Chain A
Amino acid sequence: MAIRTEELLLNVGPQHPSTHGVFRIVVKIDGEIIKEATPVIGYLHRGTEKLAEDLNYTQIIPYTDRLDYVSAMTNNYVLVSAVERLMQIEVPERAEFLRVIVMELQRIASHLVWWGTYLLDIGAMSPFLFAFRDREIIIDLFNELCGARLTYFYMRVGGVKWDAPDGWIEKVRDFIPYMRERLKVYDDLVSGNEIFLARIKGIGRYDAQTAIDCGLTGANLRCTGVKRDVRKDHPYSVYDRFEFDIPTRTEGDCYARYLVRIEEIKQSLRILEQAVEMFPEGPIMAKLPRVLRPPEGEVYSRVESPRGELGCYLVSKGKDSPYRLKFRRPSFVNLQILPKILVGESITNLITILGATDIVLGEVDA
């Protein structure tokens, strides 16, 4: 005689410690197994794209900082490079190198935030503090460079605003071996931990075809074996001058995503080493007219942000503010995989899978 059971409708979020922002999933659970999951977004929508139609290009850049607030430099870059592409501006070399150094440092900082918060979701409290301690060093570097800790507003159309102060490049150079040491400590603390491995291995598995169909990019795609990275496929800025690998794994589960991101930090350190060696002298801003008026046309520029491919589609009608500005936000697209892989998982695994997808709500909602 079977016991009568009922399906529960559970609301995970919008106020929840592990949903990384105001994100809500409505799940139908039978005991602890999820039968159906529906993400609900929009709690952080601020209308950036609509506001952009009224502002001129330099005024929009602070708004892009606040999209993916964990990695603001890549957001700045995608907008600035779209306008530069449309206006066919040649950016000076020192500015490009500064941009690359800053974006790679930002990638390390963003992955540290992801690492710390992911382990906090899984239950370990201490790695969160260690990760934020190391991220603090990067943030202090940015503070010295551009005057802000989170919303940098550093890049401008045609270059960057500030030059590196004296001694800044040396500090970046000293940071690289320090971070390599810390990665070893993190390995000791977490990557060999049997409880952690039992929690993560084999969870949230999907194959390469599903990933490509859903439009996933970034570490979520590279964990299935598909080797795509905007920095290698459509090189932008001066990335074609550096030697670095694209880490991929084939299992497609949360553990693969974890390893891919840790390896990405190591590759970023490699790029930083080369960039600091090759750092040229020169101006940091191109010669531009006072008012930026791109010619009529449309352009799509893309960047490899820590979360995936971040794109900016710009339609200009010749005025000093855009006609339409659309951001292809990786977290928004990466969320599409959730309803597919959550069916049949337990609630604990929901948190694990959501954490491994690495979303930032500022980017999901724009």
Chain B
Amino acid sequence: MMKGLVKGLGVTLRNLTKKKVTYKYPDEPIKMPNRFRGVQHFDPEKCIVCNQCARICPTNCISLTGKKNPDPESKVKLIIDTFDLNFEICILCDLCTEVCPTEAIVMTNNFELATYSRDELFKDKEWLAANNTNIREENNVSLLKAKRGGAG
């Protein structure tokens, strides 16, 4: 009558000696795989103010303005003036990186966004440019195919 109970007790007793499966976060950082969609990194040099990212964002969290390029020689007409990402509503879906033709906005593997007040969640161009650790390798898949020579 007690056989099932005794088997269950055996399972938990054996677990006492097994290795623990928890991570030692935050003492040891968690390594995310390369494709992880973390907080974005923005490179103002590459942006051509095409507005694709702001249009494709499902939650409308990107707002940007451009200004005329002071350099008359270059082909780029507009350069970026302000670029704001509202992390209260950004869902880290990476559609903005998917459509960016110059890979100006890419994702990193950082995920720690906790702040003490909501105002700090509005990240501007400088913060996003400075967030340049752990950048993801594959961002815009069509550009990737072009880089790799068209292989699937």
Does B associate with A? yes
Are A143 and B36 interface neighbours, CB within 8 A?
yes
B residues near A281, Cβ cutoff 8 Å: 152
Are B12 and A189 interface neighbours, CB within 8 A?
yes
Are B5 and A193 interface neighbours, CB within 8 A?
yes
Are A59 and B10 interface neighbours, CB within 8 A?
no
Binds B, one of A11-19, A147-155, A304-312: A147-155
A344 within 8 A of B: no
Report how far A165 CA is from B10 CA in the complex, Å.
40
Binds A, one of B65-73, B90-98, B121-129: B90-98
Encoded as 1 (CB less than 8 Å from any A CB) or 0, chain B from 92 to 121 comes to: 111100100000000100000000000000
B residues near A348, Cβ cutoff 8 Å: none
Complex partner residue of B91 from A60, A62, A162, CB under 8 angstroms: A62
Shortest CB distance A259–B (Å)? 15
Encoded as 1 (CB less than 8 Å from any B CB) or 0, chain A from 117 to 154 comes to: 00000000010000001001000100111111001010
Which residues of chain A from 150 to 198 have any CB-CB distance to chain B below 8 Å in the complex? Answer: 151, 153, 161-163, 165, 185, 188-197
Report how far A191 CA is from B4 CA in the complex, Å.
8
Are A165 and B35 interface neighbours, CB within 8 A?
yes
Are B141 and A161 interface neighbours, CB within 8 A?
yes
Report how far A11 CA is from B15 CA in the complex, Å.
39
A212 within 8 A of B: no
A residues near B95, Cβ cutoff 8 Å: 58-59, 62
B residues near A196, Cβ cutoff 8 Å: 4
Shortest CB distance A92–B (Å)? 8
Report how far A147 CA is from B97 CA in the complex, Å.
13
Encoded as 1 (CB less than 8 Å from any B CB) or 0, chain A from 82 to 105 comes to: 000000000000100000000000
Are A197 and B36 interface neighbours, CB within 8 A?
no
Report how far A12 CA is from B57 CA in the complex, Å.
39
30 contacts between A and B (CB under 8 A): A55-B58, A58-B56, A59-B57, A59-B58, A62-B93, A140-B33, A144-B35, A147-B35, A147-B37, A148-B36, A148-B37, A148-B92, A151-B91, A153-B94, A161-B98, A162-B35, A162-B141, A165-B35, A189-B7, A189-B8, A191-B4, A192-B7, A193-B4, A193-B8, A194-B2, A194-B4, A194-B5, A281-B152, A283-B152, A284-B152
- Contacts A59-B56, A147-B94, A189-B8 supplied; 16 other A-B pairs, CB < 8 Å: A133-B21, A143-B32, A143-B36, A145-B35, A146-B35, A148-B37, A148-B92, A188-B11, A192-B3, A192-B7, A193-B4, A193-B7, A194-B4, A197-B4, A281-B152, A283-B152
List chain B positions with a Cβ less than 8 A from chain A: 1-5, 7-8, 10-12, 15, 21, 32-33, 35-37, 56-58, 91-95, 98, 107, 136, 138, 141, 152
